[in-house]
Amino acid sequence: MSYDIKKIRSDFPELSIMIREKPLTYLDNAASTLKPNKVIEVINKHYSQEAANIHRGAHYLSERGTTRYEKSREAVARFLNAEFSHEIIFTKGTTDSLNLVANSYGLEFLKPGDEIILTTMEHHSNIVPWQMVAEKTGAIIKIAPINDEGEILLDEYKNLLNEKTKIVSFTLISNSLGTINPAKEMIKLAHEVGAIAIVDAAQAAPHMKLDVKDLNCEFLSFSGHKIFGPTGIGVLYGKEELLEKMPPYQRGGDMIERVTFEKTTFNDLPFKFEAGTPHIAGGIALKDAIEYVEGIGYEEIERHEKDILKYATKRLNEIKGLTIFGQAKNKTSVISFNLDEIHHSDVGTILDQQGIAVRTGHHCNQPLWDRFGIDGTVRASFCLYNTKEEVDLLVEGIKKVKEFF
Of 297, 299, 109, which is closest to residue 218 (Cα–Cα)?
109
Q: Which helix (H) or strand (E) holds 103?
A: none
Is-contact 301 1, C-beta < 8 A? Answer: no
* H helix intervals, 318-387: 344-352, 366-372
CA–CA distance, 277 with 145 (Å, rounded to integer): 41
C-beta separation of 236 from 101 below 8 A: yes
With a CB cutoff of 8 Å and minimum separation 6, the contacts of 167 are: 105, 106, 110, 114, 115, 116, 117, 130, 195, 196, 198
Q: Around Cβ 334, how many Cβ atoms within 10 Å? A: 28
CA geometry: angle at 392 spanning 387 and 394, to 5°? 95
Please give the radius of gyration of the chain, using alpha carbons only, rounded to the nearest integer.
22
Is 217 designated active site? no
Residues 356, 397 contacting (CB under 8 angstroms): yes
C-beta separation of 6 from 335 below 8 A:
no
In 3D space, the residue among 147, 65, 210 whose CA is nearest the CA of residue 368 turns out to be: 147
Beta strands in 1-101 (DSSP E): 18-19, 22-23, 25-26, 88-91
Query: From the candidates 364, 366, 367, 392, which is the catalytic residue?
Result: 364
Q: CB atoms < 10 A from the CB of 311, how many?
A: 15
Strand-pairing partners, residue 118, are 143
- β-sheet bridge partners, residue 89: 236
Q: How many CB atoms lie within 10 A of CB 156?
A: 13
For residue 355, is it left (φ>0), alpha (ψ between -120 and 50) or beta? left
Catalytic residues: 364
